[in-house]
Amino acid sequence: MINNEDYQYDSCVSRGICSVNPRTSSLQEILILYLRLSSYYALKLYENGNKNRAVRGIILNTISVIISNPQFSETDFEALTAEFNKILPQIIKEYENFCQEKNIVPECLKSVLQFNKKADVIKSIQLGEKEFLKKVQNVPQEVRDLYKILFAIAKSLCTNVLDLETFGIDEEEGYLTILRLLSSLNTGEQKTDNLKQLLISASKIDNRLMKDIRNVQEKRYGEQRINAVSYSTVPGKAVLVVGSNIRELEDILEAVKDKDIDVYTHDEMMLAHSFPKFAEYKNLKGQYGQGIENCLLDFATFPGPIVLTRHSLYNVENLYRGLLFTTDFASSKGIIPVKNKDFSEVIKSAEDAKGFKTGRQCESVTVGYNYNNSENEIRKQISRRNFSRIFIIGLNGYTIEQQVYFDKLIKETPEDVFIVSLSYCLQKDNVICLNTCFDSFAIIDFAERMSEEYKLPITVFFPKCDRHTMSQMIYFSENDNISVFVGKCTPIILNPNLINTLSKVFGIKGLSSVKKDLEDITE
């Protein structure tokens, strides 16, 4: 992607686009109480052969709401709690009946939740505040941080489980792992070591799911390749598709393929352009805008409807224009839900919108990778010289600070260190540059394969954080051959407290200065 000065005016931070306000935070505490309770009983039943699909749906959809919509509406909250209030008494009764049949003593949980009343938002906010304060007073900071990491991994798992479902794959192990993570919050005093092992185990499952997603994507859309993606726009009506689920992009393209409507991708959806199948859609024109950190400007300037696919991490209350749609389980105020792949309202909105009047010519960007082709070049480079270690630099963080850091890192890294950069590029004899852009799976792919083949110490740098970063870092931390550094990320994903805990518990370090970090790595 082109590094643009405008990108430094980060609406994600400056306008709170990726933040959670205190009111919503309190409601999230209540949803967490419901998740903990329902996961406990769902796990008890599941382990004894009772696979309740209704419980599965509400658990995954609730996590999805927390993932995709930091400013979910009170209507969404009321709808979710109504579903929990309906299902929880049923599964508690099922569990008690099962225990009676087996002549065992039921292990029921006490809860402050009341299932027989309609949600009172004001009282829920007050209860959520009390629950938050209770955690602050009774749970050590390190354990609270590990709980946040636990939810980050649960969210990543949920995204992967739901994405696999769109390809017709019912991922049971991933769902069970989510139940075990959430149910663990019901135990009393938590030990750091116990939580650490639980998180490591979950991260392994999660990274396996990421591989499964890539396999099913390539099976459906063809083997990933390097491809030029246009940032130009052309005159005409248009739709912008946002998010990461390329299966939903396919549905939209199918819906408009016979219409005079162009389709543009945004942020992580750019990944679709690296699969051959999507080149068959003539309506798919290219990428628009700079990404999540600049979504306020990107969305406000797009002259047509915007479809937020599942797990699109945006606070869009500043963008109420009647042109926002979502395929997600819940929608914020002003966002029109799309159900059962019916994009008729999106199409009508596109036809009624002004569209691009003249279009604009911009430079194309080459994205994607094919590991087998890259591997040949890597093997050739490493065979020529006696390298002491390998650096893998992940996805671009698109800030001036990060650009300066990684330019300097590449320049000052000793010549006996081989660098594979998946974003930042500087021509040196010991550097191979690839633009994997938003493809976070590439980090796993390169690090695992290179660790296995070359047996050299590897340092993985995460300049940018997405919903999978926490899980990936913890996964790598268990590999004695791999060390991990992470850059400054959006606070909703990774704040300084969490970096301290990640460093203490998992050995994951935050970036400091190039000189100090190189000394730490090579000492």
Per-residue pLDDT, 14: 45
Query: How many Å apart are CA 31 and CA 81, to the nearest integer?
Result: 7
**379 in the same domain as 318:** no
For residue 103, being part of any structural domain is answered with: yes
Cα–Cα distance for residue pair 485/413, rounded to 1 Å: 15
pLDDT computed for residue 4 by the predictor: 39
pLDDT of residue 313 exceeding 70: no
Task: Provide the mean pLDDT of the chain.
Answer: 87
Within-domain flag for 446: yes
Contacts of 435 by beta carbon, 8 Å cutoff, 6+ apart? 1, 365, 366, 367, 368, 422, 423, 425
Query: Domain ends where: 156, 186, 219?
Result: 219
Q: Measuring CA to CA, which residue among 441, 438, 440, 452 is closest to residue 378? A: 452
479's tokens: 């590999």
The predicted pLDDT at position 451 comes to 92
Q: How far is the C-alpha of 201 from the C-alpha of 141, rounded, in Å?
A: 22
Same domain, 215 and 90: yes
Per-residue model confidence as pLDDT tens digits over 223-251:
999 899 999 999 999 999 998 899 999 99
**Is the Cβ–Cβ distance between 56 and 171 less than 8 Å?**
no
pLDDT value for 438? 82
Is the distance from CB of 278 to CB of 212 less than 8 angstroms? no
SS3 content of the chain, % helix, strand, coil (to 5): 55, 10, 35
* pLDDT > 70? residue 36: yes
Per-residue pLDDT of 334-359, as tens digits, reads 788 899 999 999 999 999 999 999 88
Please give the residue that has the higher pLDDT: either 375 or 38: 38
Q: Taking the C-alpha atoms of 212, 264, 440 and 516 in order, what is their torsion angle to the nearest 10 degrees? A: 180
Residue 314's pLDDT is what?
Answer: 54
Residue 469's CATH number: 3.40.50.2030
* 3-state SS assignment for residue 285: strand
| 513 pLDDT above the threshold of 70 | yes
- Nearest partner of 96 among 84, 86, 83, 108, judged by Cα: 108
Question: Is residue 13 assigned to a domain?
Answer: no
Distance CA 160, CA 383 (A): 37
Residues 38 and 172 in one domain: yes
Q: What's the average model confidence in pLDDT over 412-422?
A: 94
> Looking at residue 316, what is its pLDDT?
57
Q: Residue 20's pLDDT band (boundaries 50, 70, 90)?
A: low
Statement: residue 117 has pLDDT above 80: no
Would you state the pLDDT for residue 9?
Answer: 40
> Span 370-374, mean pLDDT?
81
| Residue 321: per-residue pLDDT | 59
Is 230 in the same domain as 210? Answer: no
**Residue 397 to residue 486: CA distance in whole angstroms:** 11
Q: Are residues 422 and 380 in the same domain?
A: yes
Residues 378 and 436 in one domain: yes
pLDDT at 328: 81
Amino acid identity of residue 115, one-letter, is F
**Domains: count for the chain:** 3
159-174 per-position pLDDT tens digit? 999 999 999 999 999 9
Residues 13-41 have a mean pLDDT of: 78
For 186, list phi and psi in degrees, rounded to 5: -85, -10
Is residue 432 a contact partner of residue 378, using CB atoms and an 8 Å limit? Answer: yes
pLDDT at 17 > cutoff 50: no
Report pTM.
0.90
Per-residue pLDDT, 488? 82
Q: Is residue 364 part of a domain?
A: no
H or E element that contains 235: none
Residue 188 lies in a domain: yes
Strands of 192-311, DSSP E: 227-229, 237-242, 261-266, 284-287, 306-308
- Give first-to-last CA distance, the chain, whole Å: 34
Task: Say yes or no: 375 and 232 in one domain.
Answer: no
Q: Which token pair is 442?
A: 């590439």
In a domain, 75, yes or no: yes
Comparing 147 with 437, which gets the higher pLDDT? Answer: 147
Residue 365 lies in a domain: no
- The model's pLDDT over 448-495, given as tens digits with 9 standing for 90+, comes to 999 999 989 999 999 988 889 999 999 999 999 999 999 987 766 788
Same domain? For 200 and 124 the reply is: yes
* Sign of the CA dihedral running 67, 302, 351, 75: positive
Shared domain check, 57 and 185:
yes
Contact 17, 489 (CB under 8 A): no
> Would you say 231 and 2 are in contact if contact means Cβ atoms under 8 Å apart?
yes
Last residue of a domain, one of 322, 352, 382: 352
Report the pLDDT value the prediction gives residue 119, as an integer from 0 to 100: 73
Residues 335, 337, 341, 345: what is their CA dihedral angle, to the nearest 10 degrees?
-60
Q: Which residue has the higher pLDDT, 77 or 493?
A: 77
d(CA 166, CA 350): 25
Domain boundary among 219, 236, 271: 219
Average the pLDDT over each of 154-168, 173-187, 300-314, 336-350 and give the range with the smallest value.
Answer: 300-314
All residues at 6 or more sequence positions from 224 whose CB lies less than 8 Å from its CB, including other chains:
214, 217, 218, 274, 275, 368, 369, 370
My answer on whether 338 and 468 are in the same domain is no
pLDDT exceeds cutoff 80 at 402: yes
| 3-state SS assignment for residue 343 | coil
Say which range, 62-76, 108-122, 376-390, 458-472, has the weakest mean pLDDT.
62-76
Three-state DSSP at 290 gives coil
Q: What does the pLDDT average to over 133-150? A: 90
Measured between alpha carbons, how far is 43 from 35 in angstroms, rounded to an integer? 12
> Which range of residues forms the domain containing residue 340?
224-352
| Angstrom distance (rounded) from CA 198 to CA 396 | 30
Element (H, E) at 501: helix 496-506
Question: What are the tokens at 99?
Answer: 């225990």
CA distance 175 to 441: 20
Whether 359 maps to a domain, the answer reads no
Cβ–Cβ under 8 Å, residues 302 and 289? yes
Token output for 260: 């005079």
Same domain, 276 and 190: no
Looking at the fold, whether 343 and 398 belong to one and the same domain comes out as no
